[in-house]
C-alpha cells in the first residue's frame, strides 16, 4: 500500500481530525494523523507551535517516535516539575496504540507558553551551551529555571480563557525582567559566572530582559507567538474546556 501524503509505511492511511468549531479547524489540521488498520495504532505529528495534551477515558499513553533534542529536553524538564502526564510538543511525532476516535487532544496553554519561553531562552544561551556547558551546568540550569518560572507564573492564573491570561505579560513576570531577584535572575547570575570561567559568550540577565521586552513589541518574535497562542486558545476553547478545570 502506498502511504497517503504525510504518512509512512508503518502508518499509511491519513486520518482527518475533526475540529469542534470552524475556527479551530486550522489548528487541528496542523496535527498530521496517520493510522495502521492492522495494528489499530495511530501516529501523530505536531506541525503547530503549540503543545497538545491528550484526554480520554481510559487514558492513552503515547510513545515517542521522533523528536529533536530540544523536544526531548523539554519533556525531561516538564516531567521534573511542570506536567506529569503525556503531551506532544511542536515537531514531535508520537504513537498511540488506540484508534483515533478513542481519544482527543487539546492545546495546553501553560505548556505552550513554557515551550515559547524555552525556545527564547535557549537562543539566548545557545553560544554558551555550544561552547561546552554540560547537562549539569549552571547555564543549562538557568535555561530550565527560567522556563519553569514562566510556567509557574502561568498556572497561577485562575482562568486561561480570560484577559488575565496574557502570554507576554506572564513571560515577563516569570522571567523577572523588571528585577533580578527571582529564580530566573538568580540562576542566570550563576550561569554568567560559569560562562565567564569557560570563556563562553552569554548575555547578561539585563540584556536578556531587554531582548525579551523588544521581542514582545510590535511584530517581534515573542509578540507574534503570544498573539498566536491567544488566537489558538480562543479557536479551540471547546476542546480546552474539556481538558482543563481552569477553562
**Cα dihedral 52, 48, 150, 141 sign:** positive
E strand map for the chain: 13-15, 31-35, 42-46, 52-55, 63-66, 87-88, 93-96, 104-107
Looking at every residue in the chain, the average pLDDT score rounds to: 93
Q: Can you read off the three cell numbers belonging to residue 122?
A: 535557549
Residue ranges of the chain with pLDDT lower than 70? 132-135, 180-181
3-state secondary structure of 96: strand
pTM (two decimals): 0.95
pLDDT of residue 166: 97
| 3-state SS class at 106 | strand
**CA 247 – CA 241 distance, rounded (Å):** 5
CB under 8 Å to 235, separation ≥6 — which residues? 21, 23, 24, 26, 27
At 133 the pLDDT is 63
According to the model, what pLDDT value does residue 65 have? 95
**Structure-block grid coordinates of residue 1:** 500500500
What is the model's pLDDT at position 1?
Answer: 73
pLDDT value, residue 181: 67
Amino acid at each position: 500500500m502506498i502511504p497517503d501524503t504525510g504518512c509512512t509505511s508503518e502508518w499509511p492511511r491519513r486520518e482527518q481530525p475533526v475540529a469542534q468549531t470552524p475556527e479551530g479547524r486550522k489548528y487541528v489540521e496542523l496535527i498530521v494523523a496517520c493510522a495502521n488498520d492492522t495494528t489499530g495504532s495511530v501516529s501523530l505529528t505536531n506541525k503547530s507551535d503549540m503543545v497538545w495534551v491528550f484526554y480520554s477515558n481510559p487514558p492513552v499513553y503515547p510513545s515517542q517516535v521522533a523528536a529533536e533534542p530540544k523536544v526531548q529536553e523539554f519533556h525531561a524538564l516538564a516531567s521534573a516539575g511542570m506536567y506529569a502526564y503525556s503531551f506532544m510538543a511542536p515537531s514531535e511525532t508520537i504513537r498511540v496504540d488506540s484508534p483515533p476516535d478513542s481519544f482527543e487532544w487539546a492545546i495546553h496553554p501553560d505548556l505552550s507558553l513554557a515551550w515559547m519561553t524555552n525556545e527564547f531562552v535557549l537562543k539566548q544561551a545557545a553560544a554558551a551551551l555550544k561552547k561546552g556547558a554540560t547537562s549539569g551546568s549552571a547555564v543549562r540550569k538557568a535555561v530550565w529555571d527560567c522556563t519553569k518560572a514562566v510556567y509557574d507564573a502561568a498556572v497561577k492564573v485562575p482562568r486561561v480563557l480570560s484577559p488575565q491570561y496574557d502570554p507576554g505579560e506572564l513571560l515577563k513576570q516569570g522571567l523577572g525582567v523588571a528585577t533580578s531577584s527571582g529564580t530566573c535572575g538568580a540562576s542566570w547570575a550563576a550561569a554568567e559566572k560559569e560562562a565567564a570561567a569557560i570563556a563562553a559568550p552569554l548575555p547578561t540577565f539585563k540584556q536578556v530582559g531587554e531582548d525579551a521586552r523588544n521581542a514582545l513589541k510590535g511584530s517581534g518574535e515573542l509578540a507574534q507567538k503570544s498573539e498566536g497562542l491567544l488566537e489558538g486558545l480562543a479557536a479551540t476553547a471547546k476542546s480546552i474546556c474539556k481538558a482543563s478545570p481552569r477553562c
